[in-house]
Amino acid sequence: MLRLGVNIDHVATVRNARGSAYPDPVRAAKLAEEAGADGITAHLREDRRHIADADIDALMEALSVPLNFEMAATDEMQAIALRHKPHAVCIVPEKREERTTEGGLEVAREENKLAHFIAPLRDAGCRVSIFIAADEAQIEAANRIGAQVIELHTGAYCDFHAEGRFEERDAELARLTNMASFAHALGLEVHAGHGLTYETVQPIAAQPEVMELNIGHFLIGESIFRGLAPAIEEMRRLMDDARA
Ligand code: PXP
């Protein structure tokens, strides 16, 4: 079955816009669980612009489904992950000035450093996922450093779609499809995410090697119009239809 991980970062973005205690990302996560999310994803950024340390504490306490903890490869984040031991840790690149995670992780150039970085996380029982572009060299490097999972960055595919650049979108989709098969053949579990919407999710969900999609920004935005549970249920339906 194709799993849906709901990213609740942007509930915290709205909360932090006013420095209030609401809307509460943990409440959103519980609601997402009830609406059929198979996991919850949260990204604790270095600058704490959305999710805060206390949110991670509260999510670990409250969730019945697995937490996928997204983090940069820093000593601070590694210590936090080792304290909580979430089900999964997804290593993402992080630049202070970026609005969102813009590209995949450069694994091939940082192979040694990353291998040492993820070893204690694996030893602690976390499933380690690496967020990368659909690129053979990066996938091979992720495999060599001992990651169990790769998450393919669907951002470029979604951006091309939104901009009406359909030839480029289809080329990127072909790359994602080929690289999902390539990674699967190496024995890696394949996830995908970033920028996915109702319009873009189905070709990705249709890939039989893809086991999990992590979706946040669109769902939180859509929940303004239809409510969080119906927004998630519609995404689930589209994913299941594409898979069938
Ligand atoms: N997967 C990863 C690794 C991410 O960094 C993000 C964004 O935090 C997502 C998935 C979800 O992307 P979006 O919020 O655009 O759906």
Q: pLDDT tens across 20-60, in order?
A: 999 999 999 999 999 999 999 999 999 999 999 999 999 99
Q: What is the mean pLDDT of residues 52-74?
A: 97
pLDDT of residue 108: 87
Task: Look up the CATH number of the domain holding residue 152.
Answer: 3.20.20.70
Q: pLDDT tens across 78-132, in order?
A: 999 999 999 999 999 987 556 666 678 899 889 999 999 999 999 999 999 999 9
To test the pocket of ligand 1, the residue of 40, 49, 77, 101 to mutate (highest count of ligand atoms within 8 Å of its CB) is 101
pLDDT of residue 104: 82
Residue 164 has pLDDT above 60, yes or no: yes
Strand partners, 39: 5
Q: How far away, in angstroms, is 92 Cα from ligand 1 center?
A: 10
Range of the domain at 182: 3-243
Helix (H) or strand (E) holding 89: strand 88-91
Active-site position among 153, 194, 212, 222: 194
Q: How many domains does the chain have?
A: 1
Q: How far away, in angstroms, is 42 Cα from ligand 1 center?
A: 9
pLDDT of residue 95: 72
Q: pLDDT tens across 223-239, in order?
A: 999 999 999 999 999 99
- Say if residues 111 and 77 touch (Cβ distance below 8 Å): no
Share the mean pLDDT of the chain. 96
pLDDT of residue 31: 98
Residues with CB under 6 A from ligand 1: 7, 9, 43, 70, 90, 92, 100-101, 131, 151, 193-196, 214-218
Which residues define the annotated binding site for 3-amino-2-oxopropyl phosphate? 7, 18, 195, 216-217
Question: Pairing relation of β-strands 88-91 and 149-153?
Answer: unpaired
To test the pocket of ligand 1, the residue of 40, 41, 157 to mutate (highest count of ligand atoms within 8 Å of its CB) is 41
pLDDT of residue 101: 62
Q: What is the mean pLDDT of residues 56-80?
A: 97
Atom 7, ligand 1: residue with shortest CA distance: 194
Q: How far away, in angstroms, is 131 Cα from ligand 1 center?
A: 9
Confidence of residue 70 (pLDDT cuts 50, 70, 90): very high
pLDDT of residue 97: 56
Question: How much of the chain exceeds pLDDT 90, in percent?
Answer: 93
Residue 217 has pLDDT above 70, yes or no: yes
Rg (C-alpha) for the chain, rounded Å, is 17
